[in-house]
Structure 1
């Protein structure tokens, strides 16, 4: 069994390569008809963890060859399934329905750097609180001024969209953002938390569309609507907490180990009982000690052993057929739940998340991932 610690936090840095629209649902009176999800306290847009989790599970399931486990229900629920193990499962119907919790918690993706047009060209705006949330501390700026990175040549004032701010003396020096593209790091602008919210909400992308009548193929009368989105080239971050309380992730090499134990298993082998009971759960209803062979225990044990071996062989075949071998992917034989999340997130760069996908919305790119804490 794995000896890795139970709790690990993995921090992902993301970049939008399309506008991203995660709607609040329904039409609203205001600047736009279809608004996006925001933080209640700061009014800054975000990508909810629920939206990320659903898309990541779906894409990871396809990459691991487990399409039946991609949706919200109808999962296989097997202890050998990396998707059900990572994200949880709901299988069966009615009184026979079974559910198991997953081992990952995917947090909201929050804005770190927001792209804005200026007279000096495109810049990426951030604030002290946005940086501090990412554990970059000690950055300060005057209330109504902006501090700019050394690579940004400006005059005494700098416009951020429609807002003109005075430039604070000195240059912005940031550590901890080395994974950002160099042109971005050289064009970062720091403003106060109050100004940051105003800049972000004033520079969201807004588009206008019209509903189409499926019968005529023409626009519906009076069906014009507007919607907003986080623009492309925004940088966000999110935390994924892996609580591997089972310590039994079915990586390929782990499946090989289970198979070796089960091949010559006997009902009196405590190690085998532990595998079938704690991992597989097939013998959970038998509370008698292993050496108590009353009733049909050996028959039940044998059936569970055969069933588990069948699951292991099927999963090994799925691993070999899975689309996991690309230039950024690691060796699937030693996967972890965090690797399953990464596998799904990598496909979000091509297939996107959120709404308006047919209108060119939704793609996000993973810049990097590292453990924190």
Structure 2
């Protein structure tokens, strides 16, 4: 198994819905990790958007063939495929499950295979927060260590933050509504070989906070928007159609992982998968991940570490 860290930098606010209305301060909440209560981009969202974009990243001849196979796969009968999944350029990489040619017992004759690529959840690595010195990106020593950074300084207590050394460091720094003492130290930060230009900008403005404070800072600085459905006959707002929803703000840096299964698949499939995966990620991140992409949500820049 070859792991490839995936960094996603949000160019727009991101809304990955939790699947319905909830009782609380907003109607449409975003998906959170059950253990940390922090927003994340689930691997299923990245996988689905990337697989869809991969079809449109193929040459024209293969593209139509892959679209025909995809339409047959999502049909209710799920058995009138134009060709086998092993012969499809997308299904052979992302996996497939096919029904039998007839109903009844023949359904057991369908073929299925796992994908060559596996998508892991992308968790927040650095989160933008307004301060009296402009925006700063908040993280923790634990998150940086998981991103393979060594010698990460840790705050002495919850009342202290570590700011990046080099510039004139303030004695105290506010993070939204919190005012904490600050200490200047060198903070390591990952920089992929084919990374994002914004990595240097983020490193200069990095702030390490205590692990106990990080969830409260993130959840209190999420973006909350209000929208209303439009009555298309009058062009005005529809009655009783006001709703609110959450989003992670633009500038959030996520870190996930994509695995290529080189243990169960031949090298030629692995070799063909990586270029297509990069093209598909480029298109998927341009079109946007998550919901409300036509309202200006979801665009990303990505860096895939090979």
Q: TM-score, normalised by structure 2?
A: 0.84
Q: Which moved more, 1:213-222 or 1:103-112?
A: 213-222
**Does structure 2 retain, via aligned residues, the 8 Å contact 1:149–1:171?**
yes
Relative distance call for 1:68 and 1:20 in structure 2 (3 A) is: farther
Aligned to 1:227: 245
For 1:175 and 1:218, the matched residues in 2 are separated by 49
Aligned to 1:241: 259
Paired residues in the alignment total 280
Q: Which moved more, 1:123-132 or 1:337-346?
A: 337-346
Aligned to 1:313: none
Q: Secondary structure at the match of 1:10?
A: strand
For 2:29 and 2:163, the matched residues in 1 are separated by 31
Kindly indicate whether residue 26 of structure 2 is the aligned counterpart of residue 32 of structure 1.
yes
Aligned with 2:174 (options 139, 159, 184): 159
Q: Which moved more, 1:170-179 or 1:131-140?
A: 170-179
For 2:173 and 2:151, the matched residues in 1 are separated by 23
User: Deviation string for 1:51-77 (max 9, x for gaps)?
Assistant: 110000000111012333556636643
Q: Secondary structure at the match of 1:119?
A: coil
Q: Secondary structure at the match of 1:121?
A: coil
Gapped runs of 5+ residues in structure 1?
1-6, 252-334
User: Deviation string for 1:138-186 (max 9, x for gaps)?
Assistant: 4212222110012453421111111111102x32331533645322211
Using the TM superposition, give the Cα deviation of residue 363 of structure 1 relative to its aligned residue in structure 2, in angstroms. 0.9
**Does structure 1 retain, via aligned residues, the 8 Å contact 2:151–2:188?**
no
Relative distance call for 1:102 and 1:249 in structure 2 (3 A) is: farther
Aligned with 2:90 (options 72, 83, 86): 83
Indicate the structure with greater strand content: 2
Q: Which moved more, 1:230-239 or 1:335-344?
A: 335-344
Relative distance call for 1:69 and 1:346 in structure 2 (3 A) is: farther
Using the TM superposition, give the Cα deviation of residue 249 of structure 1 relative to its aligned residue in structure 2, in angstroms. 4.2
Aligned to 1:370: 305
Q: Secondary structure at the match of 2:35?
A: coil
> Which structure has the larger Rg?
1
Kindly indicate whether residue 220 of structure 2 is the aligned counterpart of residue 213 of structure 1.
no
Aligned to 1:21: 15
For 1:199 and 1:216, the matched residues in 2 are separated by 42
Aligned to 1:134: 147
For 2:300 and 2:69, the matched residues in 1 are separated by 23
Q: Secondary structure at the match of 2:55?
A: helix
Aligned to 1:147: 162
Q: Which moved more, 1:59-68 or 1:31-40?
A: 59-68
Q: C-alpha root-mean-square deviation of aligned residues, in Å? A: 2.2
Gapped runs of 5+ residues in structure 2?
none
Relative distance call for 1:248 and 1:69 in structure 2 (3 A) is: farther
Aligned to 2:201: 183
- Within 5 Å, which residues of 2 pair with 1:95-134? 95=106, 97-134=110-147
Q: TM-score, normalised by structure 1?
A: 0.69
- Within 5 Å, which residues of 2 pair with 1:178-327? 179=195, 181=198, 182-244=200-262, 245-247=264-266, 249=268
Aligned to 1:351: 287
Aligned to 2:275: 339
Aligned to 1:67: 67
Aligned to 2:52: 58
For 2:144 and 2:24, the matched residues in 1 are separated by 30
Q: Secondary structure at the match of 1:340?
A: helix
Relative distance call for 1:90 and 1:217 in structure 2 (3 A) is: farther
**Does structure 1 retain, via aligned residues, the 8 Å contact 2:144–2:189?**
no
**Does structure 2 retain, via aligned residues, the 8 Å contact 1:81–1:250?**
no
